[in-house]
Chains A and B, each alone.
Chain A
Amino acid sequence: MGEIVLKVENINKRFGATQALKDVSFAVEKGTIHSLLGRNGAGKSTVVNIIAGIYRQNDGTVTLEGKDVTPYSVFERQNMGIKLVPQHASIVPELTVGENIFVGIWPEKKGFVDWKTLYKMAEAELKKYGLEVDPKEKVKNLNAVDQRKVNIVRAMHGGAKVIILDEPTTALSTKERAELFVFVNELKARGTSFIFISHYLQEVVELSDDVTVIRDGCSFTGMDEDGLHEEKLANLIAGEEVELIRRQRAEDDNQRNLLVEVDCISGSILKDVSVNLYKGEITGVVGFPGSGAREFLRTLFGLEKVRSGKVIVKDSGVMLAKSPWNAIKNGISYVSNDRHKEGIVGLMTIEENISLPLLYSMLKGRFGFVDKNKSKGISRDYFDLFHIKANTIYDKLSSLSGGNQQKVVVAKAVSSSPKLLMLDEPTIGIDIKSREEIIENVIKIVEEKQTSVLYLTNDFDELVRAVDRILFFNEGKLVKDVRNENLTHDDIISIRDSLADQPAII
């Protein structure tokens, strides 16, 4: 055993009545990479927030080099050497690299920022950590991996003992990921410790010296005598055997019935996207952020501006949704990737949430009042169908777990019986069981109602289980359209990465 830098002992954390963490313990050694694994919602971010001082534990201790840090604030802990590098929002894109590194600790001369010294210092810092970027460059002009490196350099400055990297590889390509790992390994060799958070098992096994799995708020060590095993970790994370739903493929291409014809749509990101969508078919959508994948869905739903092109929905005629209201009326539904921002109304009940898209159509009753019986009936049906775990349909959304909130969001989207259902990360941040229940129900609805589905997710294991066909987007263009014939997670990644510089096929 090497020297212990950071020790977490018997941490308990309650949010109101919910026990978020139960006796979580682990220790980080000097100059090692310690991974925290676990499904979204398992409690990883709570642990990290307690270490950084953002949340306060109910009991248990966090010690840095033998010193209990409980009484110290976030800011004080930073100065002591505990640095949190969050997933996003920690860099200011409009500022330069140098400014970003010294945000909040600008060198001053007579009360003004001393720019000359700042950039000199920034250059030295960058050189020290082997990062070749111009300190005067605006951060928004850097590529994704360099942005993350700048973040880490900023954490290193002022003496970091433990750097917490919260899902640093999200949205990075395989090559960029490898590049980031080289960088982290170099810093590790100089004695800095890392807490690494990810849910990609493969990269965790590749990178980590030690692993702790968080499940249902409890911690489990991922190490045994033979070291790390991907399979063993997978079981540890899941906790129980959940049957994975797999879609039975639709019949072959010739028998498909056309539902939506997308004709040359262009917008702020999309460039001349044309594609046909068919009834009863689940179409996967893949692409990096900003590639047009998400924008494609949002454009069809009327959330993004369109410059040119048209969309023809069979039986609804020519239409390009101008607003979600318009889209829903024409049989198009959308589940946003951001449940909290665009999915739930936390203060409202399950029934009220599910009935939102139907208020001005199906649920309009006598005197223009809401037909409450009908609203209750519809909500109860979906409540049962999705196995939503709550006391009644009158429970407020804010009182439900993430998985159950997401079930309500999906139920809301299908409550208007859409012809085209668009799912944007429908299972993000929820437990495995809820995830499988959602996928199962989507497949069921497709089979029963011949709904066409667009399915965007970055969980490619899930994607290949659910979809019949996959559209790849890059730089605003639709660059590849393939049938899902026993494709695997790795196939998707390699297709996506290889398409990075190819011209559009359509």
Chain B
Amino acid sequence: MDSKWFKIRKNLLNNIVWILLILAIIVVGGLEKSFFTTTVMGNVLSQATVLGILSFAQAFAIMLGLIDLSLLGVMSFSATTGLLLIERGCPTPIAILMIFAVGALLGAMNGVLIAKLKAVALVETLAVKLTLLGAFLAITQGRAITSVPDSYKWFGQGNIAGIPTLPIALVIVFVVVYILWNKTPYGRSLYAVGGNEHAAYVSGIKVDRIKIIAFTISGLLAGIAGFFLSAYMGAVTSTFGTSYDMNNIAATVIGGVACSGGKGNVLGVLGGVLLLTVIQVGLQILGVASYYVQMINGLIIFIAVLLDAFRLKSEQVR
């Protein structure tokens, strides 16, 4: 009896994101019928895309028991680089590739500093974030870059056979990360290093390499998120992406990735992303004054960290 109850409680805690998501949909939809229209639903999926890609990026770091605070900085800086290149006459496809390259490179730098030099991830990525956001402001002088060609905007605003591009991008990124985590030696290594770094090392896993790759992918995904957001907005503004800054951590943790590392799955992260997006969109359509939104975001992160603590506890008392 005892052990059954423990199992149920554990499963409940691990999958609570889906229950919360259904609850959120019922509450928001119940209060405002227009929530179920295709326009709003499409809006939810589009908003979920940028948050989703960023959360997958964050999940790589959190899986290792670390954190990547630099995502917003990487995202803004790489998107700005791309748009400035276009402004100066660089062909769009090359500019887009440059966005990805800058993101991946910045991520790789994080990875090398953290894995090889043993820099503390929290502080190192914070420093990178502040530097990049500073550079972003210095380069743009606070002005918005709006000279975005239509071919670029299409990636954020167009559609393929009637389906908006953004959700398609989210699904593609989801599938790729899912395969990487669940099918490849790299994925298993990631779980092993996150679960017990020393044991993984003694088992012949190149721990440093796993970490560097994780941060490189994290940076690349941040670049991709920056690309899609700038295409969606058709511009890079001074507040570019700030609303996703901390939410990606909340989504990842609510989705079941343990802050201590080694535990979680990609589907859960997607659930966390949808939950947070439904709440955000819900607050908008319910007309909650923006003054309250930040406080609600804070509370969500608070709930996420409490859930993580409860999960850890349920794991220890086996």
CB distance from A86 to the nearest CB of B (A): 20
Q: Are A342 and B204 interface neighbours, CB within 8 A?
A: no
Q: Are B318 and A399 interface neighbours, CB within 8 A?
A: yes
Q: Are A15 and B204 interface neighbours, CB within 8 A?
A: no
CB distance from B181 to the nearest CB of A (A): 11
Q: Are B184 and A303 interface neighbours, CB within 8 A?
A: no
Q: Are A348 and B318 interface neighbours, CB within 8 A?
A: no
| Residues on the B chain within 8 Å of A359, using CB | 185, 188-189, 205
Quick one: which of A342-360 are within 8 Å of B by CB? Answer: 342-348, 352, 355-357, 359-360
Q: Is A246 an interface residue (CB 8 A)?
A: no
A301 to B203, alpha carbons, bound, how many Å? 11
A208 to B191, alpha carbons, bound, how many Å? 48
| Residues on the B chain within 8 Å of A347, using CB | 191, 195-196, 262-263, 315
Contact of A398 among B3, B6, B315 (CB under 8 A): B315
Stretch at the interface among A121-129, A187-195, A323-331, A381-389: A323-331
CB distance from A394 to the nearest CB of B (A): 14
| Residues on the B chain within 8 Å of A399, using CB | 318
| Residues on the B chain within 8 Å of A325, using CB | 204-206
Q: Is A151 an interface residue (CB 8 A)?
A: no
Best-buried of A359, A360, A364, A368 by chain B (most CB within 10 Å): A359
CB distance from A379 to the nearest CB of B (A): 13
Q: Are A352 and B191 interface neighbours, CB within 8 A?
A: yes
Q: Are B318 and A15 interface neighbours, CB within 8 A?
A: yes
Q: Is A18 an interface residue (CB 8 A)?
A: yes
Interface of chain B: mostly helix, strand, loop or mixed: helix
A334 to B263, alpha carbons, bound, how many Å? 26
Contact with A along B167-195 (1 / 0, CB 8 A): 00000000000010001110111011001
Q: Is B198 an interface residue (CB 8 A)?
A: yes
Quick one: which of A383-430 are within 8 Å of B by CB? Answer: 398-399, 412, 416
Q: Are B205 and A356 interface neighbours, CB within 8 A?
A: yes
Q: Is A504 an interface residue (CB 8 A)?
A: no
A484 to B8, alpha carbons, bound, how many Å? 54
Q: Are A324 and B201 interface neighbours, CB within 8 A?
A: yes
A334 to B315, alpha carbons, bound, how many Å? 28
| Residues on the A chain within 8 Å of B3, using CB | 16-17
| Residues on the A chain within 8 Å of B198, using CB | 341-342
Q: Is B200 an interface residue (CB 8 A)?
A: yes
A338 to B301, alpha carbons, bound, how many Å? 36
| Residues on the B chain within 8 Å of A303, using CB | 202
Contact of B202 among A329, A334, A352 (CB under 8 A): A334
A183 to B203, alpha carbons, bound, how many Å? 44
Q: Is B306 an interface residue (CB 8 A)?
A: no
Contact of B184 among A341, A345, A369 (CB under 8 A): A369
Contact of A352 among B188, B206, B317 (CB under 8 A): B188
Q: Are B2 and A341 interface neighbours, CB within 8 A?
A: no
Q: Are A368 and B263 interface neighbours, CB within 8 A?
A: no
Quick one: which of B254-274 are within 8 Å of A by CB? Answer: 262-263
A352 to B184, alpha carbons, bound, how many Å? 12
Q: Is A198 an interface residue (CB 8 A)?
A: no
| Residues on the B chain within 8 Å of A360, using CB | 185
CB distance from A411 to the nearest CB of B (A): 12
Taking CB as reference atom, which chain B residue is nearest A17?
B3
CB distance from A224 to the nearest CB of B (A): 37
Q: How many residues does chain B have at the interface if contact means C-beta atoms less than 8 Å apart? A: 28
Q: Are B203 and A357 interface neighbours, CB within 8 A?
A: yes
A378 to B27, alpha carbons, bound, how many Å? 50
Q: Is A21 an interface residue (CB 8 A)?
A: no
Q: Is B199 an interface residue (CB 8 A)?
A: yes
Q: Are A368 and B203 interface neighbours, CB within 8 A?
A: no
Contact of A17 among B2, B185, B199 (CB under 8 A): B2
Q: Are B204 and A341 interface neighbours, CB within 8 A?
A: no
Given A342-B198, A344-B196; A356-B203 close (CB under 8 Å): yes
| Residues on the B chain within 8 Å of A412, using CB | 203
Q: Is A499 an interface residue (CB 8 A)?
A: no
Interface residues on A, range: 35 or more
A346 to B317, alpha carbons, bound, how many Å? 13
A364 to B187, alpha carbons, bound, how many Å? 13
CB distance from A348 to the nearest CB of B (A): 6
A301 to B201, alpha carbons, bound, how many Å? 11
Q: Are B188 and A15 interface neighbours, CB within 8 A?
A: no
A345 to B263, alpha carbons, bound, how many Å? 11
Q: Is A363 an interface residue (CB 8 A)?
A: yes
Contact with A along B300-318 (1 / 0, CB 8 A): 0000000000000001011
A363 to B185, alpha carbons, bound, how many Å? 8
Best-buried of B6, B189, B192, B196 by chain A (most CB within 10 Å): B196
Contact of B183 among A17, A301, A357, A370 (CB under 8 A): A370
Taking CB as reference atom, which chain A residue is nearest B262?
A347
Q: Are B199 and A343 interface neighbours, CB within 8 A?
A: yes
CB distance from B201 to the nearest CB of A (A): 6
CB distance from B165 to the nearest CB of A (A): 27
| Residues on the B chain within 8 Å of A341, using CB | 196, 198-199
CB distance from B249 to the nearest CB of A (A): 20
Q: Are A345 and B192 interface neighbours, CB within 8 A?
A: yes
| Residues on the B chain within 8 Å of A363, using CB | 185
Taking CB as reference atom, which chain A residue is nearest B208?
A323
Q: Is A35 an interface residue (CB 8 A)?
A: no
Q: Are B195 and A370 interface neighbours, CB within 8 A?
A: no
Contact of B192 among A14, A334, A356 (CB under 8 A): A356
Taking CB as reference atom, which chain A residue is nearest B4?
A17
Best-buried of B187, B191, B205, B315 by chain A (most CB within 10 Å): B205
Q: Is A283 an interface residue (CB 8 A)?
A: no
CB distance from B5 to the nearest CB of A (A): 9
Q: Is A336 an interface residue (CB 8 A)?
A: yes
Q: Are B199 and A323 interface neighbours, CB within 8 A?
A: no
CB distance from B107 to the nearest CB of A (A): 21
CB distance from A108 to the nearest CB of B (A): 34
A324 to B205, alpha carbons, bound, how many Å? 8
A17 to B5, alpha carbons, bound, how many Å? 10
A329 to B187, alpha carbons, bound, how many Å? 21
Q: Are A345 and B191 interface neighbours, CB within 8 A?
A: yes
| Residues on the A chain within 8 Å of B203, using CB | 324, 356-357, 412
| Residues on the B chain within 8 Å of A18, using CB | 318
| Residues on the B chain within 8 Å of A346, using CB | 195-196
Contact with A along B278-318 (1 / 0, CB 8 A): 00000000000000000000000000000000000001011
A137 to B201, alpha carbons, bound, how many Å? 38
| Residues on the B chain within 8 Å of A327, using CB | 204
Contact of B204 among A324, A344, A352, A369 (CB under 8 A): A324
A-B contact pairs, 25 of them (CB 8 A): A16-B3, A16-B318, A17-B2, A303-B202, A323-B201, A323-B206, A325-B206, A341-B196, A341-B198, A345-B191, A345-B192, A347-B196, A347-B262, A348-B192, A355-B188, A356-B188, A356-B192, A356-B200, A356-B204, A359-B188, A364-B185, A368-B184, A370-B187, A370-B188, A398-B318
Ranked 3 nearest A-B pairs via Cβ: A17-B3, A356-B203, A359-B185
